[in-house]
């Protein structure tokens, strides 16, 4: 399964006047494409800090002490704010706890929904054009190296083929753009007529009916296209659009609209037929019209697509794919050779970064050498970015910068701490009780940084070993087809122009999708005119406006009543399935995610204490903190008193020496107060950090409340009532 996001060894602290608060302490997890990962824990466990780090919105007093957050070949902890603009809200979106804090109270909802669409649409067009040009140019260069091998005539033919590919892609773009404009106009017209016609029949149309009719008129005139509303209907379409408003105005006084409805239903009939027509393959059509010198054959669209495919394969595509496959194999093998060299250099460099005291000049020189070697391992024809390779250089530089800056910063921090301690001691010596405590010195852990550098090197070496082992079994024909599809997708992306009219229609459609009644009317309203549940739906719609890869939900149901909570959870689940989203759901309530999470990470005091599938966590939980959370969940099947978790979370300025949950854990052993437990592996998918899993630990059963709950859940599951 494709990994969309990878968090590794993340440590985040915050500077405060009382000392350094260790909010997130060495956590790691992956988020797969199309899955929901729930992060569960009490307030202060580090859940929201983790989500804000992913989105690049940590507070100014934050300290990222170590770790990586890898997305699309980038480490989100190392990229600039400018680079984050292309990701935040576009590729990774977030729904916050309080919807009102996410909405501008003096701006209409419609504008807040369309703003991101208009801004991101232009950026995506530029990105698509750049991706297409860069990849095709690189492919051409590699084909000449691997196929022509110095044969100038063969090289010239390859260059001609690539230029021809670019040339007929322009025709493809032109044809598909005209079709999409007509298709989207027809689709929008059908939706708009369905709603407005119903209101006119019920004589309940609002003041915005004229504006909506004008929109329908503009859209109707744009539907004429051979493959949507055919040219044979052009005169009729323009006649219907031209008479619509005058007919409505003549019937408005009587509030009875038979003539208007007749026109609307005929327009709808034409548009509906157009939307349901089979679309031609414009990629194939682009080649045929550019190079055949003949008009398109007059035949049904399905037969036409097959005919154009045969023509394209015979005249161009099969030969182009063969050359491209050779280029992809050549590029992959060249990258593999560089990986072998990189493995040797990385292993040889380890002692430089393990010395008791690192030498600045030596370390930076070695870092530059390694960065150049690792960069040469990048396969420019692999459309899937190798995240570990891309992030090696910025990760190493960040660690070295932190180390050598920390040497001087540590001296200052220790001097300040010593001065504060002397001041504190003088007050005590005078027989007074100070109103403040001396905070620990806010120092950089230099040994931890050296461990981080070693981890970065080891992980990349292991990764290259895996890639080299898999290289002989790669299906380059399949990858070549994927590369052609990548070029086609980016060519299509160039035509995705988002106008204000298109943005408005998408916004209204989004509002309808998230369950907002009367979206045309609501589009022009302000946030204060919505209920709390409706505002949260609007925030979800805004988050989805740019069609992100990842959706982060930070306790989105906390401020809502139970009924609305259930509706919002069902909505998020449905949207995830429909849009193939990857979701991170943050909550303090395990019950909220019982029916929507694929995997669950239970956090306590900045650490993940248990990690597994929903089945693992709800039916086979192993950590006492997870048991405590399950015991505190309300259950309609029992009238037993809920068990509160005793005590309070620890002060993370002074984190406990051993297991942070030990003082609140009725099952705690002596070792829990002395040493942090490692993450024990229970199964391939299930892990827990508790000494109870040690082979020498006494056998302990979960609390009776948890055992009874699991029994009831199993009974419901057996009868199909879960």
What pLDDT, in 10s, does the model give residues 412-443? 888 888 888 898 888 888 888 887 777 777 78
For 187-220, the pLDDT digits (tens) are 989 988 998 899 898 888 877 888 889 989 999 9
In the chain, where the domains are located = 3-109+496-597, 319-351+360-477, 604-718
Query: Same fold for the domain at 3-109+496-597 and the one at 604-718?
Result: yes
- Mean pLDDT of the 15-39 span: 89
Which helix (H) or strand (E) segment holds residue 402: the answer is helix 387-429
pLDDT recorded at residue 629: 87
Could you tell me which CATH class the domain 3-109+496-597 is placed in? alpha beta
Distant-in-sequence, close-in-space partners of 272: CB < 8 Å, separation ≥ 6: 186, 190
Count Cβ atoms within 10 A of the Cβ of residue 411 and give its class: 0-12 exposed, 13-18 middle, 19 or more buried.
Answer: exposed
Question: Could you read off the pLDDT of 674-704 as tens digits, one per residue?
Answer: 999 999 999 999 999 999 999 988 988 888 8
Phi/psi at 275 (5° precision): -65, -35
Out of 227-241, 381-395, 420-434, 493-507, least confident range: 493-507
Greater confidence (276 vs 570) lies with 276
pLDDT of residue 573: 84
Cβ atoms of 659 and 672 closer than 8 Å: yes
Q: What value does the mean pLDDT take over residues 543-564?
A: 80
Q: State yes or no: pLDDT of 503 exceeds 90.
A: no
pLDDT of residue 466: 94
For residue 350, the model assigns a pLDDT of 95
pLDDT digits (tens, 9 = 90+) for 141-196: 999 999 999 899 999 999 999 999 999 988 998 898 899 889 989 998 998 899 88
Q: pLDDT band for position 671 (50/70/90)? A: very high
Q: What value does the mean pLDDT take over residues 643-654? A: 84
Whether the per-residue pLDDT at 565 is higher than 80: the answer is no
Q: Dihedral of the CA atoms 493, 499, 505, 506 (nearest 10)?
A: 40
Lowest mean pLDDT among 197-201, 601-605, 643-647: 643-647
Residue 721 pLDDT > 60: no
Q: Report domain 604-718's class.
A: alpha beta
714: left (phi over 0), alpha (psi -120 to 50) or beta: alpha
Q: DSSP secondary structure string, 502-520?
A: HHHHHHHHHHHHTT-SSHH
pLDDT at 496: 67
The Cβ of residue 40 has, within 10 Å, a number of other Cβ atoms equal to 26
Summarize pLDDT for 337-354 with one digit per residue, the tens. Answer: 999 999 999 999 999 999
The answer to whether residue 574 scores a pLDDT higher than 60 is yes
The lowest-confidence range among 121-135, 451-465, 490-504, 570-584 is 490-504
Distance CA 608, CA 602 (A): 6
Q: Among candidates 573, 684, 526, 668, which has minimal Cα distance to 620? A: 684
**Range picked from 223-232, 411-420, 435-444, 705-714 for highest mean pLDDT:** 223-232
Q: What is the mean pLDDT of the chain?
A: 88
Q: DSSP alpha helices (H): ranges in 223-300?
A: 234-252, 258-276, 282-291
Spatial separation of the C-alpha atoms in residues 78 and 50, rounded to whole Å: 15
Q: Which residue has the tokens 């809502």?
A: 560
At 559 the pLDDT is: 64
Q: Where does the pLDDT of residue 554 fall: very low under 50, low under 70, confident under 90, or very high at 90 and above? A: confident
Q: For residues 701 and 312, what is the distance between their CA atoms, to the nearest angstrom?
A: 67
> What's the pLDDT at 302?
93
pLDDT at 722 over 70: no
Residue range 85-110, pLDDT digits in tens: 878 878 898 888 777 878 888 899 98
pLDDT at 608: 95
Tell me what pLDDT residue 380 has: 94
CA distance 362 to 353: 9
CA 282 – CA 488 distance, rounded (Å): 10
pLDDT digits (tens, 9 = 90+) for 521-546: 888 889 998 888 888 888 888 888 87
CA distance 430 to 446: 37
Residue 484 contacts residue 324 (beta carbons within 8 Å): yes
Q: Put residue 197 in one of left, alpha, beta given phi > 0 → left and psi -120 to 50 → alpha.
A: alpha
User: Residue 141 belongs to what H/E stretch?
Assistant: helix 109-143
Position of tokens 């892990």? 687
Higher per-residue confidence, 14 vs 589: 14
Residue length of the chain = 722
Longest dimension (CA), the chain: 103
């Amino acid at each position: 399964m494709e990994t969309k996001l990878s968090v590794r060894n993340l440590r985040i602290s915050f500077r405060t006047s009382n000392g350094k608060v260790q909010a997130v302490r060495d956590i790691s997890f992956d988020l797969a494409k199309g899955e929901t990962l729930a992060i569960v824990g009490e307030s202060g466990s580090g859940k929201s800090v983790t989500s804000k780090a992913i989105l690049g919105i940590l507070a100014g007093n934050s300290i990222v002490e170590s770790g990586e957050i890898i997305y699309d070949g980038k480490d989100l902890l190392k990229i600039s704010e400018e680079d984050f603009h292309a990701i935040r809200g576009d590729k990774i979106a977030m729904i916050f706890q309080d919807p009102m804090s996410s909405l501008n109270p003096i701006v209409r909802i419609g504008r807040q929904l369309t703003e991101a669409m208009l801004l991101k649409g232009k950026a995506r067009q530029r990105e698509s054009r750049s991706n297409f040009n860069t990849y095709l140019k690189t492919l051409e260069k590699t084909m000449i190296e691997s196929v022509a091998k110095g044969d100038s005539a063969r090289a010239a033919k390859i260059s001609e083929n690539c230029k021809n590919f670019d040339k007929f892609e322009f025709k493809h773009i032109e044809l598909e753009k005209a079709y999409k404009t007509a298709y989207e106009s027809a689709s929008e017209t059908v939706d708009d007529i369905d709603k407005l016609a119903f209101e006119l029949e019920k004589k309940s149309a609002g003041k915005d009916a004229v504006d909506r009719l004008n929109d329908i008129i503009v859209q109707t005139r744009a539907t004429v296209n051979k493959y949507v509303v055919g040219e044979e209907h052009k005169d009729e379409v323009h006649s219907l659009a031209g008479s619509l408003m005058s007919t409505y105005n003549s019937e408005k006084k009587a509030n009875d609209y038979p003539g208007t409805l007749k026109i609307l239903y005929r327009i709808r009939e034409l548009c509906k037929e157009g939307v349901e027509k089979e679309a031609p393959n414009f990629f194939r059509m682009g080649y045929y019209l550019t190079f055949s010198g003949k008009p398109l054959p007059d035949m049904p669209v399905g037969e036409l697509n097959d005919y154009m495919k045969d023509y394209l394969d015979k005249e161009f595509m099969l030969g182009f794919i063969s050359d491209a496959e050779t280029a992809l194999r050549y590029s992959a093998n060249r990258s593999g050779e560089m990986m072998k060299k990189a493995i040797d250099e990385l292993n040889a460099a380890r002692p430089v970064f393990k010395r008791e005291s690192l030498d600045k000049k030596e370390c930076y020189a070695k870092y530059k050498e390694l960065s150049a070697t690792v960069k040469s391992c990048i396969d420019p024809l692999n459309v899937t970015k190798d995240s570990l390779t891309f992030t090696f250089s910025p990760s190493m530089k960040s660690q070295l910068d932190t180390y050598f800056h920390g040497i001087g910063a540590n001296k200052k921090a220790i001097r300040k701490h010593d001065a504060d301690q002397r001041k504190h001691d003088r007050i005590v010596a005078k027989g007074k009780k100070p109103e403040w405590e001396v905070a620990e010195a806010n120092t950089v852990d230099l040994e931890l940084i050296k461990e981080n550098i070693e981890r970065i090197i080891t992980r990349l070496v292991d990764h290259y070993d895996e890639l080299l082992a898999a290289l002989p079994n790669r299906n380059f024909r399949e990858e070549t087809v994927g590369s052609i599809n990548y070029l086609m997708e980016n060519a299509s992306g160039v035509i995705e122009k988002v106008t204000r009219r298109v943005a408005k229609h998408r916004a209204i459609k989004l509002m309808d999708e998230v369950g907002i009644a009367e979206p045309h009317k609501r589009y022009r309203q302000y946030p204060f005119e919505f209920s709390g549940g409706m505002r949260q739906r609007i925030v979800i719609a805004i988050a989805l406006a740019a069609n992100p890869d990842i959706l982060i939900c930070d306790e989105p149901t906390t401020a809502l009543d139970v009924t609305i909570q259930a509706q919002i959870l069902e909505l998020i689940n449905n949207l995830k399935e429909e849009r193939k989203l990857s979701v991170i759901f943050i909550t303090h309530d395990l019950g909220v995610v019982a029916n929507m999470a694929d995997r669950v990470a239970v956090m306590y005091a900045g650490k993940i204490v248990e990690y597994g599938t929903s089945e693992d966590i709800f039916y086979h939980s192993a950590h006492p903190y997870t048991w405590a959370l399950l015991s505190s969940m309300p259950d309609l099947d029992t009238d037993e008193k809920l068990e509160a978790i005793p005590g309070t979370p620890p002060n993370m300025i002074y984190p406990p020496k051993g297991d942070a949950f030990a003082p609140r854990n009725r099952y705690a052993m002596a070792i829990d107060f002395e040493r942090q437990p490692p993450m024990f592996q229970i199964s391939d998918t299930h892990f827990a950090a508790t000494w109870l899993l040690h082979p020498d630990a006494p056998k302990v059963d979960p609390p009776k409340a948890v055992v009874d709950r699991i029994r009831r859940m199993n009974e419901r599951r057996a009868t199909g009532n879960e």
